[in-house]
Amino acid sequence: MLKSYFLVAVRSLLKQRFYSLINLFGLAIGIACCLLILQYVRYELSYDDFHTKKENLYRVQQDRYDKGELSTQWAAGAYAVGNSFKDAFPEVEEYVKVVPTGSLVVGYGEDKLKVEKIYFASSAFFEVFSYPLVQGNPATALTEPNTVVLSASTARNIFGDEDPLGKTVRLNEEVDAKVTGVYADLPANTHLKFDMLRSYATFVQQVGPDNNPDEAWMWDGCMTYLLLQPGTDPKALEAKFSDYVEANIGEDLAQYDADAVYLLQPLPDIHLYSHYMMEAEPNGDGTATYLLLGIAFFIIIIAWVNYINLATARAMNRAKEVGIRKSVGSLRSQLIQQFLMESAVLNALAVVLAILLVVVALPAFNRISGQELSFSLLSTPLFWVSLLALYLVGAFLSGLYPAFVLSAFNPATVLKGSMKTSHRGNRLRQGLVVLQFAASLFLLIGTLAVFRQISFMRDQDLGINIDQTLVIQAPIIRSRQDSIYVGDKQAFKQEMLRYPAIRSITASSAVPGGAVGWNAGGIRLKGQDASDSKQYRVIAVDYDFLDAYGLKLLAGRKFGEEYGNDPGTVVFSRTGVQQLGFDNPDDALNKEIEFWGATYTVVGVVDDFHQESLRETYEPLIFRCIPGVHGAFSVKVATSNLQETIAHLHAGWDQIFPGNPFEYYFLDDHFDAQYRADQRFGQVFGVFTGLAIFVACLGLFGLASFTTAQRTKEIGVRKVLGASVPQILQLLYRDFVKLVLVAFVLAVPLAYFAMHQWLQHFAFRIGISWWLFALPCVLVVLIAILTVSFQSIKAAVANPVHSLRSE
């Protein structure tokens, strides 16, 4: 019987090749898109999933308040949190402290290697996290000062085939460190990436006995992870933190009218839902990830709807087949099985084609998504489980309703020729078409909003000149004496400025395109109470920074060597002086501020500018003049003969800062990189939106073809009675356009809500204009008209004699 069902199913699909191909390609594209997006989403959701203790691992996130208002949110908060919470709360089984540090030049013998991502980590690191240590003892590898643990690839690059364990390396030509462990190279799906770990005991030793970090509650910059006892309720523990903080440092906080709140972040949630100061890596976007998951289901549902629509629309053509089968004894259950078999065969062919599409599309998908999915995903159990689930659900759901509709025909009615099209069936098909185009409109409106917002951010005036700026990363190895480094820095600037293509050089602790790392609290006007203190972002600059970047002066003056005492002066941004209490920038001039025990005079105010992307609001900034600032060099260059200019800079760098790698980037590229994740999201969103509309149009084309064929005689009669071709086309278009307009009414409120929610992530954003909805509607109407035009025009211009003489 199954063999018979299969043969009949194949014959039926071959007989209706046109409609079968429409369904086949629609289902294949839907399944392929769904599989690609599911793998993308699975990867995003898999971050830190490999840690065996992840269910009980939490990072402590810190919120700081000034006068009851949230001022800063930190991923890396106070240093004292870990050890203090472990001592105070039995629910905390262990803690780990992770402190970011700069790059280092690691020397072994005559060889040197720059190592980028380095952290200080406390001794329990390898016992709490599941980063596998392939050499060394996880319990002792990070206990002693001046010890390091290397990644396998870093160890290989430094030592070659030698056993690194117990070897001594020299860091920045200053400090010796013993290699006490080697860990396997990290997987890509972890929020914490590092090439080397230094023991936290080294950090404690470096800051000295007078600055014990384990007692520092007002000193931020330490990522703290807590391993909780099994069964601990994190929310209940979190609620206890406030009382503890109040009891221990409440008085210290009260004098600044400040507060600190500590929250627990589940380790697997960090990648998608954490975007705070001093994140270890740029994190993903949970909202975008689940939006893409929604697109995946939209596309596959649209493909299934196509099958249901075409199968039920063809019901009249198969009515006699059903009537004859029933009259010779077929049971309804057998007919249902027959039609489900047709669905199963078509879905099986679609699955095979979908796998081929995935293989072909995977490299392009990786380029636009920024992920590194490989063909090895074809060997993962999850891929095949997803594929099997899509096949079974698709074959059953898309085939079930047509099977029940077709198997329900009354044989007597059918064979007498009095079978008529059901209005209920027509309404269902119309409802499904409305669902398809409502989904397509929703996605198209969303795509337009995403690209409009990205374009808006990239086209805005930044308030700072970043054009033709080459940034050289700060020298890692520097003179032990600051006075010597200041001389070297000045010599480099003077020597390079002799070159005609170099227009200016300035050094600073931060450059546009990234967060300002220096966050300073306790700043207030001289004479004010400590409770009036506020937090600011501070950028240390030399004399030339403000001019080099073209910052607009609102009041006062810029820094200058001719003033002599400028290291004792500061320049504020507009938002900075407003936070200080002055709406008029001129009123802030010559005022003195207290800054960590020292007094500085405000000599100037510059206009706000975008230090970071337009996702972020204007920060309250203070510029401090530090002539010997150890930071990146920003070099304004002419674009002609650029390679020669870079070579000249490289030669001067090697001469004045020997042993330091010469690493540079162009600032406009660096600034643009902040939008890369949004651009990728927009590209992925746009591509799959286009595919969703294409699949919907495939179904609409098939349905229009079938509907037009059914109305051939009606069209012939209308033409004989004098109807023109435009009138016939209007008749055929009207029904489909009505459906698109109904879909528009349904899609707009949902799209408006989703767009409004997404735009809330941006401090500077587009307005939600009417044309963002009207344009997609017009576009979809045009697409729908073009889709049905081929068959409609063919029917409208046909000779009515041929349609009226054929029965």
* Residue 277 DSSP one-character state: B
Per-residue pLDDT, 349: 86
Task: Specify whether the CB–CB gap between 550 and 465 falls below 8 A.
Answer: yes
- Which of 779, 674, 782, 791 has the alpha carbon at shortest distance from 728? 791
One-letter amino acid of 704: A
User: Would you say residue 701 lies in a domain?
Assistant: yes
Verify that 641 and 537 share a domain, yes or no. Answer: yes
Q: Which helix (H) or strand (E) holds 59?
A: strand 57-66
pLDDT score of 789 more than 90: no
pLDDT in tens, 273-313: 998 888 988 888 888 888 888 888 888 888 887 777 776 66
Q: Which residue has the higher pLDDT, 572 or 66?
A: 572
Per-residue pLDDT, 313: 60
Q: Which residue has the higher pLDDT, 405 or 149?
A: 149
Q: What is the share, in percent, of the chain residues with pLDDT greater than 70?
A: 84
**What is the C-alpha separation between 469 and 524, in angstroms, rounded?**
34
Per-residue pLDDT, 410: 60
Q: Which residue has the higher pLDDT, 589 or 281?
A: 589
pLDDT band at 807 (very low <50, low <70, confident <90, very high): very low
User: Would you say residue 711 lies in a domain?
Assistant: yes
Verify that 453 and 518 share a domain, yes or no. Answer: no
- Arithmetic mean of pLDDT, 203-226: 90
- Arithmetic mean of pLDDT, 184-188: 92
Verify that 551 and 652 share a domain, yes or no. Answer: yes
Task: Specify whether the CB–CB gap between 258 and 54 falls below 8 A.
Answer: no
Per-residue pLDDT, 798: 65
Q: Which helix (H) or strand (E) holds 591?
A: none
User: Would you say residue 550 lies in a domain?
Assistant: yes
pLDDT score of 606 more than 70: yes
Q: How many helices (H) and strands (E) does the chain have?
A: 24, 25
Kindly tell me the sign of the dihedral angle through the C-alpha atoms of 48, 53, 54, 59: negative
pLDDT score of 701 more than 90: no
Q: To the nearest whole number, what is the mean pLDDT of the chain?
A: 84
Last residue of a domain, one of 245, 273, 301: 273
Helix axes 381-407, 286-313, angle to 10 degrees: 30
Verify that 646 and 735 share a domain, yes or no. Answer: no
Per-residue pLDDT, 797: 66
User: Which structural domain range is residue 316 located in?
Assistant: 1-46+287-420
User: Would you say residue 281 lies in a domain?
Assistant: no
Number of domains in the chain: 4
pLDDT in tens, 61-74: 999 888 888 888 99
Verify that 712 and 611 share a domain, yes or no. Answer: no
- Which of 265, 272, 226 has the alpha carbon at shortest distance from 75? 265
pLDDT in tens, 412-422: 555 555 445 55
- Tokens representing 638 are 């002419």
pLDDT in tens, 709-761: 666 667 777 767 777 777 777 776 777 778 888 888 888 998 898 888 888 88
Last residue of a domain, one of 633, 652, 673: 673
User: Would you say residue 512 lies in a domain?
Assistant: yes
Verify that 132 and 36 share a domain, yes or no. Answer: no
According to DSSP H, which parts of 112-266 are helical? Answer: 125-128, 152-159, 200-207, 234-254
Verify that 648 and 510 share a domain, yes or no. Answer: yes
Per-residue pLDDT, 371: 74
Verify that 534 and 647 share a domain, yes or no. Answer: yes
pLDDT band at 407 (very low <50, low <70, confident <90, very high): low
Verify that 260 and 191 share a domain, yes or no. Answer: yes
User: Would you say residue 434 lies in a domain?
Assistant: no
- Tokens representing 666 are 């162009």
- Which of 513, 446, 390 has the alpha carbon at shortest distance from 687? 446
Per-residue pLDDT, 779: 84
- Arithmetic mean of pLDDT, 198-226: 91
**What is the C-alpha separation between 283 and 274, in angstroms, rounded?**
7
User: Would you say residue 180 lies in a domain?
Assistant: yes
User: Would you say residue 427 lies in a domain?
Assistant: no
Greatest mean pLDDT among 136-140, 422-426, 458-462, 713-717: 136-140
pLDDT score of 673 more than 80: yes
Give residues with Cβ within 8 angstroms of 148, minimum separation 6. 169, 171, 177, 178, 179, 180, 196, 197, 198, 199
Task: Specify whether the CB–CB gap between 47 and 270 falls below 8 A.
Answer: yes
Verify that 86 and 162 share a domain, yes or no. Answer: yes
Q: Report the length, in residues, of the chain.
A: 807
Verify that 496 and 619 share a domain, yes or no. Answer: yes
Verify that 206 and 60 share a domain, yes or no. Answer: yes
Greatest mean pLDDT among 398-412, 644-658, 752-766: 644-658
pLDDT score of 252 more than 60: yes
Per-residue pLDDT, 470: 95
pLDDT band at 5 (very low <50, low <70, confident <90, very high): low
pLDDT score of 323 more than 60: yes
Per-residue pLDDT, 194: 95
pLDDT band at 425 (very low <50, low <70, confident <90, very high): low
Last residue of a domain, one of 653, 673, 693: 673
| Angle at alpha carbon of residue 284, lines to 280 and 287, rounded to 5° | 145
Task: Specify whether the CB–CB gap between 456 and 765 falls below 8 A.
Answer: yes
Q: What is the share, in percent, of the chain residues with pLDDT greater than 90?
A: 39
| Angle at alpha carbon of residue 110, lines to 488 and 105, rounded to 5° | 50
pLDDT in tens, 353-370: 888 888 888 888 888 877
